[in-house]
């Protein structure tokens, strides 16, 4: 059979978010993979520059639904660093608690998705049913099931009562039972093992070279975890193990995530036992003093990096987000070498891709052979292109928006 190229994406039942993987196949064997990103680019970093600090907090939270707290907290940490704010310890603990609950919900979601990709829908249904417990818990604590909005620059918005903590601990006990069952299933179910073991191997050297982080890297023995290496929030005050695994394949990534779930339960119990009393926040200035800072947060998928630069005004000058999936995507092509088409969905799913987090703009430093367009030139280029190719006149849009501005707030 001559090689044929199959598109997996941008729309494909295997992917939960749009991204394009063009797979060249010969029969069932993969000859090569071409990836194209950017389908979820929404111009968030640019939008941040037009909004005030607190508005940006809520904007960045909505980069992704699964790791929303990660982005929101990382941004807060960076801004608090620039403004030299001392966040009270109770706020740090509450942020950590919500962060760990988010990790639990994200890993359970991943377990379900992995089950679905290999045809074991039952695992998906059970895992997502158990995930409802965490979602209800988060709704109770923060007021919403996703996009928790618990952070403010300088602290948190809501307190956690003793009853809520008790509810958290009860739910954690139930979830621990369930996760131990899933670990048993992962260990003994042979069809699961056949689909996950030996699939998507990434040796430790390759993982280091390609920059794999988070559970993807830890399953290849890359012993990095920002919570331990660079403790932030309340992680310096709790004991936990960093789970690594020697399998270096999708099975290893499964075991790492299940192990991290159990560690999260332990962390939450420690946080609940040692929650300090005190204020919930400190007052944050409206105009953050000039400066720049980098904040690193261990999101469920790996290290999330936020770079924030302020020029002393009410709005940030630059916000840059490097999501963990961007670092892990590079290893997907390597993992798919010498594999079969049937492995593509699970290998992609195993890095726990969050393309919404990943798609940010990148400006190339070298511009030899390409044109550099200014913002105005780029806009005009877009208008001309649409007029030429699709017969649409978008220049009028600007005038119409100027004539009838939407009520209040930035456009």
Partner 1 sequence: MTAVLAALLALCVFPGLLFAAAGGLAAEFVDRKLHARMQNRVGPPWFQPLADFVKLLSKEELIPGQADRFVFRAMPILALAAATTALFCIPLFGPRAISRFEGDALVVLYLLTLPTLSFFLGGWASTSPYASIGSMRSLTQLFAYEVPLLMVLMAPGLLAGSWSLSGMALFFQAHALLALSNLPGLCVALVALLGKLEKVPFDLAEAETEIVAGTFTEYSGRRLAFFRLAVDVEAVVAASLLASVFLPWGLSLPLAATVPLYLFKVLAVLFVLALLRTILARLRLEQMLEFCWKWLAPAAMLQLLISVLLAGGLSR
Partner 2 sequence: MKWPGKMAAEALRQLLRRPATVPYPSVPAQMPERFRGRIVFDAATCVGCGLCERDCPSGALTINEVGKKRYEAVFQLDRCLFCALCVDLCNKRSLAATREFELAAVRRGDLRVLYPAPAAAKESDGAA
* Residues at the site binding partner 2, with contacts judged by CB under 8 A: 51-52, 54-59, 62, 122-123, 126, 129, 132, 136, 139-140, 143-144, 147, 149, 152, 157-158, 181, 184-185, 187-191, 193, 406-410
Q: Which is nearer to partner 1, 12 or 379 (CB)?
A: 12
Rounded Cα–Cα distance for residues 193 and 187 (Å): 8
Q: Quick check: 129 binds partner 1 (CB under 8 A)?
A: yes
Considering just the CA atoms, what is the radius of gyration of the chain in Å? 23
Q: Which is nearer to partner 2, 193 or 379 (CB)?
A: 193
Parallel/antiparallel/unpaired status of strands 4-8 and 29-36: unpaired
Q: Which is nearer to partner 2, 192 or 351 (CB)?
A: 192
Q: Quick check: 227 binds partner 1 (CB under 8 A)?
A: no
Q: Quick check: 161 binds partner 1 (CB under 8 A)?
A: no
The correct pick among 260, 343, 352, 359 for binding partner 1 (CB under 8 A) is 343
Q: Which two tokens stand for residue 256?
A: 């790492």
88 binds, among partner 2, partner 1, none (CB under 5 to 8 A by kind): none
Rounded Cα–Cα distance for residues 142 and 154 (Å): 17
In the bound complex, what is the minimum distance in angstroms from residue 183's beta carbon to partner 2? 11
Q: What are phi and psi of 346, to 5 degrees?
A: -75, -30
Q: Which is nearer to partner 2, 41 or 62 (CB)?
A: 62
The correct pick among 34, 42, 43, 122 for binding partner 1 (CB under 8 A) is 122
Q: Quick check: 342 binds partner 1 (CB under 8 A)?
A: yes
Directed axis angle between helix 162-188 and helix 250-273, to 10°?
160
Q: Which residues contact 216 (CB under 8 A, 6 or more apart)?
A: 202, 207, 253, 301, 302, 328, 331, 350, 351, 352
Sign of the CA dihedral running 85, 90, 93, 98: negative
357 binds, among partner 1, partner 2, none (CB under 5 to 8 A by kind): none
Assign 34 to helix, strand or coil.
strand
Q: How many positions of this chain bind partner 1 (CB under 8 A)?
A: 31
Q: Quick check: 135 binds partner 1 (CB under 8 A)?
A: no
Q: Quick check: 362 binds partner 1 (CB under 8 A)?
A: no
Residue tagged 């962390």 (tokens): 267
396 binds, among partner 2, partner 1, none (CB under 5 to 8 A by kind): none
Rounded Cα–Cα distance for residues 57 and 122 (Å): 37
- Asked if residue 210 lies in contact with residue 264, where contact means CB atoms within 8 angstroms, the answer is no
Q: Which is nearer to partner 1, 118 or 138 (CB)?
A: 118
Q: Quick check: 12 binds partner 1 (CB under 8 A)?
A: yes
Q: Quick check: 54 binds partner 1 (CB under 8 A)?
A: no
Q: Which is nearer to partner 1, 154 or 345 (CB)?
A: 345
Q: What are phi and psi of 329, to 5 degrees?
A: -65, -30
- Asked if residue 219 lies in contact with residue 252, where contact means CB atoms within 8 angstroms, the answer is yes
184 binds, among partner 2, partner 1, none (CB under 5 to 8 A by kind): partner 2
In the bound complex, what is the minimum distance in angstroms from residue 346's beta carbon to partner 1? 8
Q: Which of residues 196-215 bind partner 1 (CB under 8 A)?
A: none
Q: Quick check: 338 binds partner 1 (CB under 8 A)?
A: no
Edge to edge, the sheet with strand 20-26 lists 4-8, 20-26, 29-36
Q: Which is nearer to partner 2, 147 or 266 (CB)?
A: 147
Q: Which two tokens stand for residue 116?
A: 């679905």
Tally of CB atoms within 10 A around 272? 18
150: Cα separation from own chain's centroid? 17
**Which residues of this protein are in contact with partner 1, per CB under 8 A?**
4-6, 12-14, 25, 27-28, 115-122, 125-126, 129, 189, 191-192, 194-195, 340-345
């Amino acid at each position: 059979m001559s090689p044929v190229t199959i598109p997996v994406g941008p729309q494909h039942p295997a992917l939960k978010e749009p991204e394009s993987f063009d797979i060249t196949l010969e029969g069932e064997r993969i000859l090569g993979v071409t990836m194209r990103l950017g389908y979820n680019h929404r111009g968030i970093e640019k939008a941040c520059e037009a909004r005030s600090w607190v508005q940006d907090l809520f904007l960045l939270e909505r980069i992704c639904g699964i790791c929303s707290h990660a982005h929101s907290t990382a941004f807060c940490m960076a801004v608090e660093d620039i403004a030299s704010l001392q966040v009270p310890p109770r706020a740090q603990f509450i942020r950590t608690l919500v962060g760990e609950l988010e990790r639990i919900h994200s890993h359970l979601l991943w377990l379900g998705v992995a089950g679905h990709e290999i045809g074991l829908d039952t695992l998906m249904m059970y895992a997502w049913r158990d995930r409802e417990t965490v979602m209800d818990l988060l709704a109770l604590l923060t007021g919403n099931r996703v996009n928790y909005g618990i952070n403010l620059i300088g602290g948190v918005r809501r307190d956690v009562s003793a009853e809520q903590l008790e509810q958290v601990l009860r739910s954690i006990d139930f979830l621990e039972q369930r996760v131990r069952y899933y670990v048993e299933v992962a260990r003994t179910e042979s069809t699961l093992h056949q689909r996950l073991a030996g699939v998507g191997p990434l040796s430790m050297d390759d993982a280091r070279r390609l920059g794999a982080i988070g559970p993807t890297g830890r399953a290849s023995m890359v012993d990095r975890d920002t919570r331990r290496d660079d403790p932030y929030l309340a992680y310096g005050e709790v004991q936990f193990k960093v789970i690594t695994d020697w399998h270096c394949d999708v099975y290893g990534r499964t075991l790492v995530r299940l192990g991290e779930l159990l560690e999260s339960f332990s962390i939450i119990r420690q946080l609940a036992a040692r929650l300090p009393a005190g204020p919930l926040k400190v007052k944050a200035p409206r105009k953050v003093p000039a400066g720049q800072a980098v904040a690193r947060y261990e999101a469920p998928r790996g290290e999330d990096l936020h770079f924030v630069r302020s020029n002393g005004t009410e709005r940030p000058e630059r916000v840059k987000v490097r999501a963990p999936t961007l670092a892990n995507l590079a290893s997907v092509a390597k993992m798919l070498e010498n594999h079969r088409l049937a492995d593509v969905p699970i290998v992609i799913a195993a890095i726990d891709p969050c393309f919404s987090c990943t798609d940010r703009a990148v400006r190339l430093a070298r511009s030899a052979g390409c044109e550099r367009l200014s913002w105005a030139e780029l806009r005009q280029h877009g208008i001309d292109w649409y007029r030429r190719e699709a017969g649409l006149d978008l220049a009028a849009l600007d005038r119409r928006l100027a004539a009838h501005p939407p009520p209040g707030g930035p456009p």
